[in-house]
Structure 1
Amino acid sequence: MIERLPDKDGMRYSLTPNRSISWPALVRVWLGLVAVTSLVVVFMVLAGAWLVVPFAGLELAAVGAGLWYTARKCCRREVITFGPRVVRVEKGHQCREQEWELPRQSVRVYLEPKPHPFAPERMWLRSLDEEIPLADFLNARDSRELMTLLQSQGLPVTRRTQAAAGLWF
């Protein structure tokens, strides 16, 4: 998802993955799974199948860990600020973890071809000797929107070509 943020020095955009559910709602879904599984486990224990208890616990722990990992990946954020002299890229989860300031006149956008028809093109911002991967979590439509946005800021775009890697490609 691409969102324009107010900025006094220039244009600022926030890039985040699409999220279909919030963290509190995800916790409620997991607690619902815990309740249903606990109900089934109680009936199984009353029937004499007590060995179900550790496996149900492992299953709930694995589902909880998977939901947490997915939710954490969906909390990624990249902020691109286009100032008069610099392009600033900030990346992180809950807070800014990485930051780059690139001189605007030397920034270029590089595109790598799609690995298959439904995948978005991969993007990099390149300046002098730095190459920063950009928004690898965006879907194809948002990726095209970001490319239009970068071109509207005057950044030149270069498409990389890949040589065939084998007989089947």
Structure 2
Amino acid sequence: MVEVSTFERQVQLHLSPNRSATWQQTKFLILGFALFISTIAIAWALVGAWVILPFAGLEVSLLAGIMYAVSKATYQWETVLISQQSITIYRSNGASLRFPRQDTSLYFLTDINKQRLPRLVLQTQLQQFEVGAFLNSDDKQRVHDSLSQAGIAVCSNKWW
């Protein structure tokens, strides 16, 4: 998701991944899977196949771990603040980067074979940073358009 704000001759882009479920909803889904898998495992254990119980527990644990990691990843964000002198990027992990506006270009790198999403890279001679790596293709295009409208020079690896 891309939210664009303009205030006092500054442009702010707040970038966050699209989230279809909250952590509370994810916990309910994990609980539902755990109950379903446990019911099947207990039924097999009652008919004598008790060896299934540790594997069912492992399955539920792995599923819960993966769902937790995916849910946690949807809560990351980046804020890009474009002023007259600089471009500052604030990240959800507490890191921040500052680029001088005059020397910074946006590289819009598209995959020629259309197998990967395009990449948005802010770059100077000394540093580079991929903006919105977690965004989908439409959101990356919106960031591209917003940065272009804000006066950032845009370069592309595709000239045709």
TM-score, normalised by the number of residues in structure 2: 0.89
- Cα 1:78–1:122 shift into 2, 3 Å: same
Residue 124 of structure 2 aligns with an amino acid whose one-letter code is S
CA distance in 2 between partners of 1:10 and 1:115 (Å): 34
Contact map agreement 2:122 2:131 (CA 8 A) in 1: yes
The corresponding residue for 1:167 is none
CA offsets 1:100-132 (integer angstroms, 9 cap, x no match) = 111222221012222533643211111241111
CA distance in 1 between partners of 2:157 and 2:112 (Å): 13
The corresponding residue for 1:150 is 147
Is 1:124 paired with 2:121? Answer: yes
Residue 145 of structure 2 aligns with an amino acid whose one-letter code is T
- Cα 1:6–1:44 shift into 2, 3 Å: farther
CA distance in 2 between partners of 1:15 and 1:146 (Å): 9
TM-score, normalised by the number of residues in structure 1: 0.84
Residue 81 of structure 1 aligns with an amino acid whose one-letter code is L
CA offsets 1:105-163 (integer angstroms, 9 cap, x no match) = 222101222253364321111124111111122111111111100001000011136xx
List aligned pairs for 1:63-82, cutoff 5 A.
Answer: 63-82=63-82
The corresponding residue for 1:89 is 89
Aligned with 1:110 (options 103, 107, 110): 107
Tell me how many residue pairs correspond in the alignment: 158
The corresponding residue for 1:101 is 98
- Cα 1:8–1:24 shift into 2, 3 Å: farther
Residue 135 of structure 1 aligns with an amino acid whose one-letter code is G
Contiguous gaps of at least 5 residues in structure 1: 162-169
Is 1:61 paired with 2:61? Answer: yes
CA distance in 1 between partners of 2:140 and 2:2 (Å): 9
Contact map agreement 1:113 1:121 (CA 8 A) in 2: yes
Contact map agreement 2:108 2:144 (CA 8 A) in 1: no
- Tell me the percent identity: 22
- Cα 1:130–1:45 shift into 2, 3 Å: same
Contact map agreement 2:30 2:64 (CA 8 A) in 1: yes
CA distance in 1 between partners of 2:39 and 2:5 (Å): 47
CA offsets 1:62-85 (integer angstroms, 9 cap, x no match) = 111111111122222111011222
Residue 79 of structure 1 aligns with an amino acid whose one-letter code is T
- Cα 1:53–1:6 shift into 2, 3 Å: farther
The farther-off stretch of 99-108 and 148-157 is 99-108
- Cα 1:43–1:158 shift into 2, 3 Å: same
Is 1:159 paired with 2:156? Answer: yes
Bigger relative CO (Cα 8 Å, ≥ 6 apart): 2
CA offsets 1:5-34 (integer angstroms, 9 cap, x no match) = 576672211111111111110110000111
The farther-off stretch of 97-106 and 140-149 is 97-106
